[in-house]
Structure 1
Amino acid sequence: MASTSAPSQDLYAVADFCLIPMGTGEPSVAEYIAECSRVLQKSGLKHQLHGYGTNLEGPWSEVVKAIHDCHAAVHAKGVPRIATDIRIGTRVDREIEPGTGNEGKVKRVQDILAKDSAA
């Protein structure tokens, strides 16, 4: 029978999340997203802001804590509601060098497209 115990170490998580401040009364939420970005910088996790969210990677518990801390910081700026969409991927079939999860995924696709161009 397979063991149902938790892994002895945190899973490495590659995440994409979009934090959506609600009830601000303003058309731009850039100031609130900047606050979340400050939190992520302090977390020490690898992250990359993009037009509709942020890529974030590291140990699962640290990734979800960082998203929690973004919520807390944005609420502290007076935002009454926040909705967040999150996608998290993990894998255990091979080792992922910390900090290269998102880059590795993008590079693999770029390598395939480069072969198309060379053909």
Structure 2
Amino acid sequence: MALMQITIIPLGTGTPSVGDYVADVVQLLEDKEIPYVLNDMGTVIKGEVHELLELAGQLHELPFISGVERVVTQIVLDDRRDVQRTLGDKQRAVRRRLEERSR
């Protein structure tokens, strides 16, 4: 399984706010029951690489459906195949290291 962080940036909307577009992304993920973690700079999703890339295309299209004429989408894939991971594993590992240091 891989992790993908995706950030969708609609351009030319007349406002710096992107909250409605982020809500569209979250709604699609929830409708499809796809596990995700929303953060301040994007959305992290777990899945098989080919499924994540297909999903990225679907998510990229959402602002166009709302009438946006230009969209920039940033995707980061982390495909580690030597271990099984779940969403939040990296965060837990860092917190565990910080706890060990404070002892």
TM-score of the superposed pair, with normalisation by structure 1: 0.79
Q: Distance in 2 between matches of 1:66 and 1:43?
A: 10
Aligned equivalent of 2:93: 108
For structure 1, list consecutive stretches of 5 or more residues without a partner in the other structure.
Answer: 1-11
Given candidates 28, 36, 48, the residue that maps to 1:59 is 48
1:49 and 2:38 aligned: yes
Quick check: which has more Rg, 1 or 2? 1
Instruction: Summarize the Cα distance change of 1:43–1:66 in structure 2 as closer, same or farther, 3 Å threshold.
Output: farther
Q: Distance in 2 between matches of 1:53 and 1:13?
A: 16
Aligned residues: 103
Contact kept, 8 Å, 1:39 with 1:66, in 2: the verdict is: no
Contact kept, 8 Å, 1:15 with 1:88, in 2: the verdict is: yes
Cα distance, 1:103 vs structure 2: 1.2
Between 1 and 2, higher relative CO (CA 8 Å, sep ≥ 6) is seen in: 2
Deviation per CA, 1:32-61: give whole Å up to 9, x if none: 111111112123221111111111111112
Aligned equivalent of 2:63: 74
Q: Distance in 1 between matches of 2:69 and 2:3?
A: 28
Question: What is the DSSP-based 3-state SS (H/G/I as helix, E as strand, rest coil) of the residue aligned with 1:91?
Answer: coil
> CA RMSD for the aligned pairs?
1.4
Aligned equivalent of 1:24: 13
1:37 and 2:26 aligned: yes
TM-score of the superposed pair, with normalisation by structure 2: 0.89
